[in-house]
């Protein structure tokens, strides 16, 4: 007690280690920003998928599937709906390009 130094319960709250406290706060803020960005993109992705699923499957596409995919008619209605959902999301999310003059 004769030295006149004040003891702190945590090493980071002392006057000399102010830089360490600033670094910890900086890392916490950076982590919060990264977390918020991830939550935002995941939410946007989910909203986009729900938006794509809410659009009806074109009847012309069903006719194409019946003509070109023989097992399609053997699928249950539930499985056909799942196929419509996946196919619709895939085709609407991705830009498909014809190769070597195919159209």
Return the domain boundaries, the chain. 10-54, 56-93
Tokens standing for residue 59: 């009847």
Q: How many CA atoms within 13 Å lie on the side-chain side of 49?
A: 10
Q: Other C-beta atoms within 10 Å of 8: how many?
A: 11
Among 93, 85, 83, which Cα is nearest to 56's?
85
State residue 16's pLDDT score.
Answer: 57
State residue 43's pLDDT score.
Answer: 94
Residue-wise pLDDT tens for the chain (103 aa)?
Answer: 455 566 555 555 555 567 777 888 999 999 999 999 999 999 998 888 788 777 777 888 888 888 888 888 888 889 888 887 777 666 666 666 666 666 5
State residue 57's pLDDT score.
Answer: 78
State residue 27's pLDDT score.
Answer: 95
Q: What is the pTM of this model?
A: 0.47
List, in order, residues 6 or more apart from 12 with CB less than 8 Å away: 20, 21, 24
């Amino acid at each position: 007690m004769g030295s006149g130094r004040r003891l702190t319960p945590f090493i980071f709250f002392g006057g000399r280690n102010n830089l360490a406290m600033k670094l910890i706060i900086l890392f916490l803020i950076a982590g919060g920003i990264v977390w918020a960005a991830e939550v935002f993109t995941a939410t946007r992705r989910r909203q986009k998928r729900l938006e794509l699923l809410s659009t009806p499957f074109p009847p012309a596409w069903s006719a194409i599937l019946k003509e070109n995919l023989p097992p399609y008619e053997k699928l249950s209605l539930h499985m056909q709906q799942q196929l419509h959902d996946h196919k619709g999301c895939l085709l609407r999310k991705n830009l498909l390009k014809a190769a070597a003059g195919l159209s």
